[in-house]
Amino acid sequence: MRKTIKANRLTRLVRFFAIILPRAFSRAAGRKAIAIQPIGNISHLKQSQVRALSRLGQRRYLTVGGYSHEQARELCALSRALGRQIGLLIDRQGRVESVILGEPGGILIPALSRARTGAGRLRGVRLLHTHLTPELLTQEDLMDLLFLRLDSVGVLTVNDWGDPVSFQSAHLLPAGGDPPYSVHEALPWDHVDIDFTAEAESLEQESSRVLSDASGSPLDDSMPRAVLVSVSPESRPVQERHLAELGELARTAGVAVVGTLVQRVASVHPRHILGKGKLAELEVLALQGQAGMIVFDGELTPAQLTSLTELTERKVLDRTQLILDIFATHARTRAGRLQVELAQMKYTLPRLVGRNRAIDRLMGGIGGRGTGETKIDTDRRRIRERMTRLRRELENLGRQRAFVRERRARQGVPMVALVGYTNSGKSTLLNALTRSDVLAENKLFATLDPTTRRLRFPHEHELVLADTVGFIRSLPKELVEAFKATLEELHSADLLVHVLDASHPEMEAQLEAVEAILADMGLQATPRVLVLNKWDAVPSGMDGAEDGEALPREALRLRWPEAFPLSALTGEGLAAFSRYLENWLAGMEGTALKGTLPEPGGGAVLPGEGAL
């Protein structure tokens, strides 16, 4: 009897684990699959129609052929019954990620995950959708393929009785091209034998190979790639020069430039900075270079940034964001980090709209100021509170620096500040004059924090030489305001040494940009002297002479006879400039040093604006 009871219990346990438990898991999995809700305007649909759409998301679609005959009939019949297009986003395992209910003439694909956005990679999903007319793939379908970088786009045409008729698909080309996609010929709906997963994987491999051959090295996914864009009323040569500088900024930020796009317009549109046609050309460039980033020269308004992010899946940056990123990377001291963080928050605050899908959700309770405050209001309030704390800390640092400057003034030590365009060689000149080892690199904005060193001369003369942050064309106002404490060092300077890169083709434009910033800071009356640095890189002899024009070095001497030509790297001209500083220091102290006056035309103190 006991043996029978034990056998019955054992039978029930076996039945539970072998039959009942798997069925329970199956039902749970079924309930989870049903939870996939269709996307689109479904408010007016019946519950049975919504359930029918949801059942499409439970199917496992074939990778070879794209679908089974039953799945195609089900999809087309439901599309005709609803009178609207239906789209399915299917991954490479055949699982449905989204069921999209569109309109009779098109569908709107929602924002996709930013996964798989590296160079040479496709999105990892394909679009299968219906057309209620005999029309096959449209230009809008192909633009969705291009902008979203889908594995492929396929269309099933539906007749009036809800039966599938024809199928057509398209995929991107590895090297872009014109057009940057390949459209297959239309096939009968039941004669499709394309292996979509193998096709997508081979396209990715070919894209990586093409990009590696173009760069001469294996593809490095760790280094972001970008296309630079200039949209401006200025002439094309000017825009190209600005893009060259933007390329240097990108290089400093660790971004590889794979293409450029220039568009001259009468006026920049306040919202749509690029039309769809030009944006499609931009996408082709990004596709050819496998770029995941688009960088615009100039500063984008919040509306322009929002419209661009709605049209492209690539990361969109502007020149200001790139500069802020460089500053954040190069900030070493606490003051520098605080100033960069303040500048970033000032830039981010008006552009917070649309960055997070959760910003429109209502919130309340702890951390929310009232039950009606939205997530975006909370984020803005916290940013403002953080900005207030940063300003308070920077004010304290400013008072400390003011105390140091007052103590230096009481000691009667004159101060000379090096100013100039970024990467003009100010830090190298400081090291050469004072025999210091301040960081000096061939990069933009290598120096952010002010550095001071004492420069001693014979006859018991000395001065303080200060190296400041470099300037740049159209310096973002957020940086000027945030670095106010740092730039205040210039107001206490007795002499400004304007260091100019004499080898740069845009040296005159750089000089004008620095002078404009100094004028905005109210430093017109401060005496300054011009130094033509990197003199060793300026062509000499017959190099650069064309049609009887003056030689480059001679032209520079004629253009700025009062300037000091020197090379901080090789030491050429440093002795004459040091004698000039010593003589200037003696004049400040009311004494004259015989034999230390600079040679005629070798550099005179310039009385502020108008002397350059």
Number of domains in the chain: 5
| Tokens 């200025």, located at residue | 234
> Which range is least confidently modeled, 117-121, 320-324, 413-417, 565-569?
117-121
* Type and span of the H or E element at 168: strand 164-172
Same structural domain, 352 and 312? no
What is the pLDDT at residue 585?
A: 84
Structure tokens belonging to residue 561: 């006879």
What is the pLDDT at residue 132?
A: 93
Average pLDDT in the 286-299 region? 83
What is the pLDDT at residue 506?
A: 84
Q: Would you say residue 59 has pLDDT above 80?
A: yes
- Give the 3-state DSSP-derived string for 406-470, with helices as H, strands as E and coil as C: HHHHHCCCCEEEEEEECCCCHHHHHHHHHCCCCCCCCCCCCCCCCEEEEEEECCCEEEEEEECCC
What share of the chain has pLDDT > 90, as a percent?
A: 19
Residue 604 falls within a domain, yes or no? Answer: no
Q: Would you say residue 156 has pLDDT above 50?
A: yes
CA distance 232 to 234: 5
CA distance 490 to 518: 9
Residue 317 falls within a domain, yes or no? Answer: yes
Same structural domain, 30 and 40? no
Residue 593 falls within a domain, yes or no? Answer: no
CA distance 269 to 280: 18
Average pLDDT in the 360-379 region? 55
- Starting at the edge strand found earlier in the chain, the sheet holding 225-232 runs 256-264, 225-232, 293-296, 315-318
pLDDT band at 158 (very low <50, low <70, confident <90, very high): very high
Residue 576 falls within a domain, yes or no? Answer: yes
| 129-155 tens-digit pLDDT | 999 999 999 988 988 888 888 899 999
Q: Would you say residue 302 has pLDDT above 60?
A: yes
Q: Would you say residue 86 has pLDDT above 50?
A: yes
What is the pLDDT at residue 187?
A: 93
- pTM (two decimals): 0.68
User: Do 122 and 172 form a contact (C-beta atoms < 8 A)?
Assistant: yes
- Give the 3-state DSSP-derived string for 530-596, with helices as H, strands as E and coil as C: EEEECHHHCCCCCCCCCCCCCCHHHHHHHHCCCCEECCCCCCCCHHHHHHHHHHHHHHHCCCCCCCC
> Which range is least confidently modeled, 32-36, 155-159, 452-456, 560-564?
32-36
Residues ≥6 apart with Cβ < 8 Å to 496: 416, 417, 419, 490, 518, 523, 526, 527, 528, 529
In this structure, are strands 164-172 and 461-467 parallel, antiparallel, or unpaired?
unpaired
User: Do 475 and 486 form a contact (C-beta atoms < 8 A)?
Assistant: no
Domain boundary among 327, 359, 374: 327
- Give the 3-state DSSP-derived string for 187-216, with helices as H, strands as E and coil as C: EECCCCCCEHHHHHHHHHHHHHHHHHHHHC
Structure tokens belonging to residue 606: 């310039």
Q: Greatest CA span in the chain, whole angstroms?
A: 127
- Give the 3-state DSSP-derived string for 263-332, with helices as H, strands as E and coil as C: EECCCCCCCCCCCHHHHHHHHHHHHHHCCCEEEECCCCCHHHHHHHHHHCCCEEEEHHHHHHHHHHHHCC
What is the pLDDT at residue 599?
A: 43
Mean pLDDT of the chain: 78
Please list, residue by residue across 187-219, b when 16 or more beta carbons sit within 10 angstroms of its beta carbon and e when fewer do: eebeebebebbeebeebbeebbebbeeeeeeeb
Same structural domain, 315 and 441? no
| 491-505 tens-digit pLDDT | 888 899 999 998 888
What is the pLDDT at residue 503?
A: 87
Q: Give, in degrees to the nearest 5, the angle at Cα 106 between 126 and 193.
A: 35
| 109-127 tens-digit pLDDT | 887 766 555 556 788 899 9
Question: Would you tell me how many other CB atoms lie within 10 Å of the CB of residue 141?
Answer: 24
Which range, 20-29, 393-402, 553-562, is most confident?
553-562
Same structural domain, 202 and 265? no
| 395-411 tens-digit pLDDT | 887 787 777 777 777 77
| 443-454 tens-digit pLDDT | 666 666 677 788
Average pLDDT in the 93-102 region? 91
Same structural domain, 282 and 342? no
Same structural domain, 41 and 156? yes
Same structural domain, 431 and 552? yes
Residue 612 falls within a domain, yes or no? Answer: no
Structure tokens belonging to residue 82: 């609803």
What is the pLDDT at residue 4?
A: 52
Q: Would you say residue 281 has pLDDT above 60?
A: yes
Average pLDDT in the 537-558 region? 65
pLDDT band at 88 (very low <50, low <70, confident <90, very high): very high
What is the pLDDT at residue 154?
A: 95
pLDDT band at 169 (very low <50, low <70, confident <90, very high): very high
DSSP-derived secondary structure letter, 351: G
Residue of 529, 537, 539 lying closest to 572 (CA atoms): 537
Domain boundary among 327, 347, 376: 327
DSSP-derived secondary structure letter, 40: E
Residues ≥6 apart with Cβ < 8 Å to 14: none
User: Do 231 and 294 form a contact (C-beta atoms < 8 A)?
Assistant: no
Q: Would you say residue 364 has pLDDT above 50?
A: no
**Domain ranges, residue 270:** 225-327
Residue of 183, 146, 192 lying closest to 165 (CA atoms): 192
Same structural domain, 442 and 581? yes
User: Do 128 and 66 form a contact (C-beta atoms < 8 A)?
Assistant: yes
Structure tokens belonging to residue 612: 């350059």
Report the CATH number at residue 238: 3.40.50.11060
| Tokens 């749509």, located at residue | 272
| 222-279 tens-digit pLDDT | 678 899 999 988 888 889 989 998 998 888 888 888 889 998 888 888 888 887 778 8
Average pLDDT in the 76-91 region? 92
Question: Would you tell me how many other CB atoms lie within 10 Å of the CB of residue 71?
Answer: 18
Residue 173 falls within a domain, yes or no? Answer: yes
Same structural domain, 203 and 122? yes
Same structural domain, 433 and 554? yes
Q: Name the more confident of 539 and 566.
A: 566
What is the pLDDT at residue 484?
A: 64
Q: Would you say residue 91 has pLDDT above 50?
A: yes
Same structural domain, 153 and 261? no
| 174-203 tens-digit pLDDT | 765 667 888 999 999 999 999 999 998 888
User: Do 566 and 533 form a contact (C-beta atoms < 8 A)?
Assistant: yes
| 581-608 tens-digit pLDDT | 888 888 776 544 433 434 433 444 443 3
What is the pLDDT at residue 285?
A: 82
Same structural domain, 21 and 163? no
Residue 607 falls within a domain, yes or no? Answer: no
Burial of 600: CB neighbours in 10 Å, binned 0-12, 13-18, 19+: exposed
